[in-house]
Amino acid sequence: MYAVLLIFVANKKMATPQSVSFYTLGCKLNYSETSAIGRMFEERGYAVNRFEDGADICVINTCSVTEFADRKCKKIVRQAQKANAQAKIVVVGCYAQLKPKEIAEIPGVDLVLGAAEKFRILDFVDDLHKAEDTGVMEVSEVKHANSFVSAFSFGDRTRSFLKVQDGCDYKCTFCTIPLARGKSRSDTIENIVAKANEIVDKGVKEIVLTGVNIGDFGNGTAVIEGTRPKKGELFIDLIKALDEVDGVERYRISSIEPNLCTDEVVTFVSQSKRIVPHFHMPLQSGSNKMLAAMKRRYRRELYQERVAQIKKLMPHCCIGVDVIVGFPGETEEDFMDTYHFLHDLDISYLHVFTYSERKNTPAAEMDNPVPLQVRRERNAMLTTLSEKKKRAFYNAFAGQEREVLFEAHKKDGLLSGFTDNYIKVELPVIEGKVNTLGKVKLDKLTENTVFQACLV
């Protein structure tokens, strides 16, 4: 469900006796921040090794959206020890902020850094020693995570994740993100534009705008080198400014709340020179009763209106949806409301999450928990629906020509890539095509829902 992302830079000749490796769990925001931390180590003279090759220091950037992510952290610590038994292991990220004591007690963990400390990691690792018993915890209260630190990923020259916002002021009853990342805060438009130019200079073709709640851009409480975003800087102002940055081929909006995906935003994207027709909007439930219990800031009718507006202006647009099944109190009728709502909605794919109890959230104390087996069955039903939606969306473009950003593929002899509206394609390798844009014809849809294509 959650992609595991490895950050590495090949470096056979170590510039110093010290080396570092990284392992990232979770979201695109984590990916961007791991890359930023990696560049800090490189600037200090560290060699950045592949995780599986081992290093003097191993940094694990964690997610804590589900219990699976918690267990995964423990597994990665064991793998880091296997790669280098003498490695000093540092754990950062959401899990580190939420459960520092639990992590510090994992055998092999030497240092745990919270949300306010992770970007000062170099202040702590220089004098770090292997823990004999429990790792050192440097974790302050999340209210101290009130500054904004710029970050973007680099390593895959095709695409970069650019952090524009952090934290969240919403109070969704199932979510730990405000506890792990603090209040909503944003970068300035001026600084983001500068970062976009820096990314372009590295040869990257696509920039993915990422954050916790990026539609809330400009409304936060950021302190950026002693300044705050200018009053009136909103997400629409940000994307208008970025659209004028020369050299960027594509921007992709990672995720945006439906109540913040305004008509103005949708209209601008439909006319944009560089922002691709792809929206990912979390729904979480198609039942208004469940949306109220989750304390979401919209109802299904608004979501339906947003989808209709997008499709009216961009019939070819890809729309992805997050949905949670098995939330406390979700009856069979509530779930079927969600199922039928999604079935009838003109969307392209689903990300289906099985609800899991998270400590210190209101939902964990709610009555009428849904049995685990029922949760799994509901997940399976929506996963099947997602596959049908995705194939139907892809099939609508069979035989058409679309522009693709070409990427290297794990399989020998194949290039892969995505169209502007997020259709995955594969074609035989053509020399010099990686990290370029080209028009292809979408020929044949495979069983794995990937289009076999040919150059036009």
Among 34, 55, 29, 78, which Cα is nearest to 177's?
Answer: 29
The pLDDT assigned to 248 comes to 94
Q: In sequence order, which residues have a C-beta less than 8 Å from that of residue 359 and are 6 or more positions away?
A: 98
The pLDDT assigned to 410 comes to 66
Least confident of 141-150, 258-267, 333-342: 141-150
CATH number of 4-140: 3.40.50.12160
Given this structure, which CATH class describes domain 279-393? alpha beta
Over residues 95-113, the mean pLDDT reads 92
Residue 230 has pLDDT above 70, yes or no: no
The pLDDT assigned to 228 comes to 55
For 81, half-sphere exposure in the C-beta direction (CA atoms, 13 angstrom radius) is 12
Which residue reads 């921007």 in tokens? 251
Over residues 437-442, the mean pLDDT reads 96
Give the right CATH number for 401-455 from 2.60.120, 2.40.50, 1.10.8, 3.30.1060. Answer: 2.40.50
Q: At 160, is the pLDDT very low, low, confident or very high (cuts 50, 70, 90)? A: very high
Pseudo-torsion of CA 124, 128, 133, 139, nearest 10°? 0
Mean pLDDT for all residues in the chain:
90
CB 332 within 8 A of CB 292: no
pTM confidence score: 0.90
Least confident of 48-57, 92-101, 171-180, 405-414: 405-414
**Gyration radius from the chain CA atoms:** 22
Among 319, 316, 289, 292, which Cα is nearest to 304's?
Answer: 319
Residue 231 has pLDDT above 60, yes or no: no
Give the pLDDT confidence of 373-422 residue by residue, as tens digits: 999 999 999 999 999 999 999 999 999 999 999 988 766 778 999 999 99
The pLDDT assigned to 307 comes to 98
Q: Report the percentage of the chain scoring pLDDT > 70.
A: 91
Using CA atoms, how far apart are residues 369 and 230, in angstroms rounded to an integer?
45
Using CA atoms, how far apart are residues 214 and 185, in angstroms rounded to an integer?
10
The pLDDT assigned to 11 comes to 39
Domain 143-276 has CATH 3.50.50.60: no
CB 221 within 8 A of CB 185: yes
Q: Report the percentage of the chain scoring pLDDT > 90.
A: 78
Domain ranges of the chain: 4-140, 143-276, 279-393, 401-455
Residue 282 has pLDDT above 90, yes or no: yes
Which residue reads 């081929």 in tokens? 249
Looking at per-residue pLDDT, the higher value among 80 and 71 belongs to 80
For 95, half-sphere exposure in the C-beta direction (CA atoms, 13 angstrom radius) is 27
Q: At 431, is the pLDDT very low, low, confident or very high (cuts 50, 70, 90)? A: confident
CATH topology identical between 143-276 and 279-393: yes
Structure tokens at 264: 């103005």
The pLDDT assigned to 220 comes to 63
